[in-house]
Amino acid sequence: MDSRRQKTLLIDPGARVRVWCKECGRELSDPISRQRQLGAECDPEPRTGYDRHDVDQDPIPGL
């Protein structure tokens, strides 16, 4: 008679909370998408710093 049952925790201590896209339900892996709960393909707002394409910056002459 073992009354002390060990609870099996399914949650890993180091596991991150899973977040899914509000629009399409895809699981999100990148921090910005998780923060907004929107995948990159469903997010209407442009993401600065996500894809770093430094365009429209002329090289400084004389360097």
Token readout for 5 is 């049952």
Q: In terms of Cα–Cα distance, which of 9, 8, 1, 32 is closest to 19? A: 32
Q: In terms of Cα–Cα distance, which of 57, 56, 25 is closest to 39? A: 25
Please identify, using beta-carbon distances, which residue of 24 and 29 lies nearer to Zn ion: 24
How many amino acids of this chain bind Zn ion (CB under 5 A)?
5
Please identify, using beta-carbon distances, which residue of 22 and 58 lies nearer to Zn ion: 22
**Of 4-63, which residues contact Zn ion (CB under 5 A)?**
21, 23-24, 39, 42
Binding region for Zn ion (CB under 5 A): 21, 23-24, 39, 42
